[in-house]
Amino acid sequence: MLIRDARAAEVPRLRDMDREAGQIFRDIGMPMVAEFEPRTLTELEVAQRDGLLWVAADEDGAPASFLMAVALDGCLYVDQPSTAPASARRGLGRALLDRAADQARADGLPALTLTTFADVPWNGPYYERCGFRVLRDAEITPGLRAIRAHENALGLDRWPRVCMRRDVTP
């Protein structure tokens, strides 16, 4: 797999991939999560233009996974990672996280941050295996607090959620 910047023409496919990837939440009793709309085309287009949208491309060059990031509170926030179900469990997410860490490092940012479900195997436990740690309440930045408040308003706190951080080394 090749990790590269997403192309503008790929943005609609990435949105569809995000929708497809979310369906796995139905299998673990979280159908509400599967029903959420993916990031808008505009959000994905802005990230692509800003150089903060990366894909893992298959041997034919087609995206099999993507990661969208945004700058937040002096860190790089992992806003949306998604992998096509047929390409899951191949290390694509980890490779994209490493690409995001490289970008944070290049931009002089100290860390990647994210919010996620604490107990969903491909969320909190997975991110811990990828070098993230759960933030203590005193470590949660204003931007992360705002994201968590929005998630709570959407009803996502029905399941335990956490803020996480992965420091990047210079």
C-alpha–C-alpha distance, residues 103 and 92, integer Å: 17
> Domain of 142: which CATH number?
3.40.630.30
Average pLDDT over residues 104-124: 95
Question: In the structure encoding, which two tokens stand for residue 161, read together?
Answer: 């959620």
Q: Domain range for residue 149?
A: 2-167
Q: State the pTM of this model.
A: 0.93
Angle (deg, nearest 10), helices 41-49 and 11-22: 120
Report d(CA 24, CA 27) in Å as an integer.
5
pLDDT per residue over 61-78, tens digit each? 889 899 999 999 999 999
Beta carbons of 5 and 54 less than 8 angstroms apart: yes
Instruction: Indicate left, alpha or beta for 67 from its phi (over 0: left) and psi (-120 to 50: alpha).
Output: beta
Cα Dmax for the chain: 46
Report which DSSP code applies to 104: H
- What's the number of domains the chain is made of? 1
pLDDT of residue 123: 92
Mean pLDDT, residues 99-126 taken together: 95
